[in-house]
Structure 1
Amino acid sequence: MANSESTVSLKLLVDLKRHKVLFAEAGKDFVDFLFTLLSLPVGTVIRLLAKHGMVGSLGKLYESVETLSDTYMQPNLDKDTLLKPKPAIGGTDVLHLLAGDEATRKVYMCRNYHRYVADDSRAICPLCNSAMSTEVPHVAPHVASGSSSGEGGGYVKGLVTYMIMDNLEVKPMSTISGITVLNKFNVKEVGALEEKVVHLGMQEGISLLKASLQSNYVLTSVFLGKKVA
Structure 2
Amino acid sequence: MAASNSNTVSFKLFIDPNSNRVLFAEAGKDFVDFLFSIMLLPVGTVIRIIGKQGTGCIGNIYDSIENLGNSYMLSENITDLLLKTQAFNCGVYKPGLWSSLSPSIYTKFYRCSNYKTKEDCSKYMANGFSRCPSCNKEMYRDFTFVNLQDKVGVGFVKESVTYMITDDLAVRPMSAKSIFTLLNHLNIKDAGDLEEKVITVGANEGVELLRASMQTKTVLTAVFLGGKKESSIKSEPIH
Q: Same fold (TM over 0.5)?
A: yes
Identity %: 44
State the distance in 1 between where 2:169 and 2:20 align: 17
Matched, 1:197 2:198: yes
The structure whose RCO (Cα within 8 Å, separation 6+) is larger is 1
State the distance in 2 between where 1:130 and 1:221 align: 49
Matched, 1:112 2:116: yes
* TM-score, normalising length: structure 1: 0.80
Instruction: After TM superposition, list the pairs within 5 Å mapping 1:45-60 onto structure 2.
Output: 45-51=46-52, 53-60=53-60
State the distance in 1 between where 2:8 and 2:149 align: 15
Instruction: After TM superposition, list the pairs within 5 Å mapping 1:11-160 onto structure 2.
Output: 11-51=12-52, 53-75=53-75, 78-87=78-87, 89=89, 91-92=92-93, 93-97=95-99, 100-102=103-105, 105=108, 107-109=110-112, 110-112=114-116, 114-119=122-127, 123-124=131-132, 126=134, 132-137=139-144, 151-160=152-161
Query: By how many angstroms is 1:125 displaced?
Result: 7.0
Q: Kindly tell me: are residues 204 and 151 of structure 1, through their superposed partners in 2, closer, same or farther at Cα, counting changes over 3 Å?
A: farther
C-alpha contact (below 8 Å) 2:108/2:143 kept by paired residues: no
Opposite residue 201 of structure 1, the aligned amino acid is G
Q: Give SS of 1:176's match.
A: helix
Deviations 1:90-133 (A, max 9, x none): 6423323555234584624445353432456784472x776545
C-alpha contact (below 8 Å) 2:165/2:171 kept by paired residues: yes
Q: Kindly tell me: are residues 78 and 193 of structure 1, through their superposed partners in 2, closer, same or farther at Cα, counting changes over 3 Å?
A: same
Q: Give SS of 1:22's match.
A: strand
Query: By how many angstroms is 1:44 displaced?
Result: 1.3
Query: By how many angstroms is 1:218 displaced?
Result: 0.3
Q: Give SS of 2:55's match.
A: coil
Query: By how many angstroms is 1:73 displaced?
Result: 1.9
Q: Kindly tell me: are residues 102 and 43 of structure 1, through their superposed partners in 2, closer, same or farther at Cα, counting changes over 3 Å?
A: closer
C-alpha contact (below 8 Å) 2:86/2:107 kept by paired residues: no
C-alpha contact (below 8 Å) 1:164/1:170 kept by paired residues: yes
Query: By how many angstroms is 1:136 displaced?
Result: 3.4
C-alpha contact (below 8 Å) 2:169/2:219 kept by paired residues: yes
Which residue number corresponds to residue 166 of structure 2?
165
C-alpha contact (below 8 Å) 2:87/2:107 kept by paired residues: no
Opposite residue 117 of structure 1, the aligned amino acid is M
Which residue number corresponds to residue 209 of structure 1?
210
Deviations 1:121-177 (A, max 9, x none): 784472x776545333455x6789xxxxx8522111111101100000111100111
Q: Give SS of 2:19's match.
A: coil
For structure 1, the 5+ residue unaligned runs are 145-149
C-alpha contact (below 8 Å) 1:108/1:120 kept by paired residues: no
State the distance in 1 between where 2:140 and 2:183 align: 60
The total of aligned residue pairs comes to: 218
Query: By how many angstroms is 1:63 displaced?
Result: 1.2
Let me know the Cα RMSD of the aligned residues. Answer: 3.1
C-alpha contact (below 8 Å) 2:54/2:215 kept by paired residues: no
State the distance in 2 between where 1:217 and 1:8 align: 20
